Amino acid sequence: MPPDVSRNFAPTIGRVFAFILFYVICTAAATEFLLRPLTWAVTTVGLRIRVDMYLELAAAIAATAIMLRSIDRRPWSVVGMTRGAVRARPMVTGLLVGGGAIVITCATLLAAGLLQFGPAPANGSWIGAALRVTAVLAPAALAEELICRGYLLSVVRDSVGARLAVMLTSVMFGLLHLANPGATVESVGVVMLSGLLLGTVRVVLNSLYAAWMAHLAWNWVMAVPVHASVSGIQFESPGYLAVSTAPAWLSGGSWGPEGGAIAALGMLAGLAYFHTRRRREES
């Protein structure tokens, strides 16, 4: 590699590693200082939810703030977090794209008999379970967006352009799911494709919040109304349960509806929307 190219990439690589280091440090600090108060708070109000995603979110916000305010000295607009980014239009667009893509996926699986409903113990109310699951999914989705499509996407984009930055962060997004239960080459590959869709939402709408809405809507549809696994994780499913049948490469299997080739079609539909939108704006 020519020396000038190496020098151009060196600051970017340094910032990427600095963000990861600060995130690890902030995660340890959040675990030390916030875990007990959060656990006490949710126990006191009678919630039965995990709190680790709140620690991840706190760490992601802190690491982003350190990089932007102390290292780069750049505004939050760099990562798509401004007042304009939280306007209704981009938020609703993200919500509809993410929710629409997974609705297409689940509807196709149901029509093909690859997603089937079965009985499950009615432990508690449907609404109560929906609220608890949402209280887990919302911070988890925002934390993942901050990590994968916040500072890292922005700093890499400055160096190699938006398209390659979205591709690289999508690969990272998929690899982060390798530890999930039932992960396969196919499911991780589809997660990478979902990263392309979420990255496109983030870049085109210039809003991290829009990408968060798309991410949350995708997971929420599977977990709350459908009662299917989300990236291999089964949430509360009072009354009924949705199970993906064989072949797993097509339906997602134990990973859930988002892990198979049919899910890729839903994501491609979302990408096609943005492609059509861009052509319409250019004409």
Candidates 172, 180, 183, 178; CA nearest to 145 is 172
| Per-residue pLDDT reduced to its tens digit, 26-39 | 999 999 999 999 99
CA-to-CA distance for 32 and 38, rounded, in angstroms?
Answer: 11
Its pTM stands at: 0.94
Candidates 23, 26, 53; CA nearest to 38 is 53
On whether residue 271 sits in a domain, the answer given is: yes
> What is the pLDDT of the chain when averaged over all its residues?
93
On whether residue 72 sits in a domain, the answer given is: no
Work out the percent of the chain whose per-residue pLDDT is above 90. Answer: 87
On whether residue 140 sits in a domain, the answer given is: yes
Tell me, what's the pLDDT at 180?
A: 94
On whether residue 98 sits in a domain, the answer given is: yes
156: containing domain: 81-282
Quick one: 45 exposed, middle or buried, by C-beta within 10 A (0-12, 13-18, 19+)? exposed
Tell me, what's the pLDDT at 46?
A: 80
At residue 8 the predicted structure's pLDDT band, cuts being 50, 70 and 90, is low
Token pair belonging to 164 = 């390659």
| Contact criterion met (CB below 8 Å) for 30 and 59 | yes
At residue 122 the predicted structure's pLDDT band, cuts being 50, 70 and 90, is confident
| Contact criterion met (CB below 8 Å) for 148 and 169 | yes
Token pair belonging to 42 = 């949710």
CA 152 to chain centroid, in Å, comes to 14
- Model confidence at 23: pLDDT above 80: yes
| Contact criterion met (CB below 8 Å) for 255 and 184 | yes
- Model confidence at 142: pLDDT above 60: yes
**Structural domains of the chain, count:** 1
First to last CA, the chain: 39
| Per-residue pLDDT reduced to its tens digit, 215-256 | 999 999 999 999 999 999 999 999 999 999 999 999 999 999
CA-to-CA distance for 196 and 170, rounded, in angstroms?
Answer: 6
Arithmetic mean of pLDDT, 79-100: 94
On whether residue 46 sits in a domain, the answer given is: no
On whether residue 54 sits in a domain, the answer given is: no
On whether residue 47 sits in a domain, the answer given is: no
CA-to-CA distance for 143 and 159, rounded, in angstroms?
Answer: 24
On whether residue 74 sits in a domain, the answer given is: no
Tell me, what's the pLDDT at 2?
A: 41
Tell me, what's the pLDDT at 3?
A: 41
CA-to-CA distance for 277 and 223, rounded, in angstroms?
Answer: 30
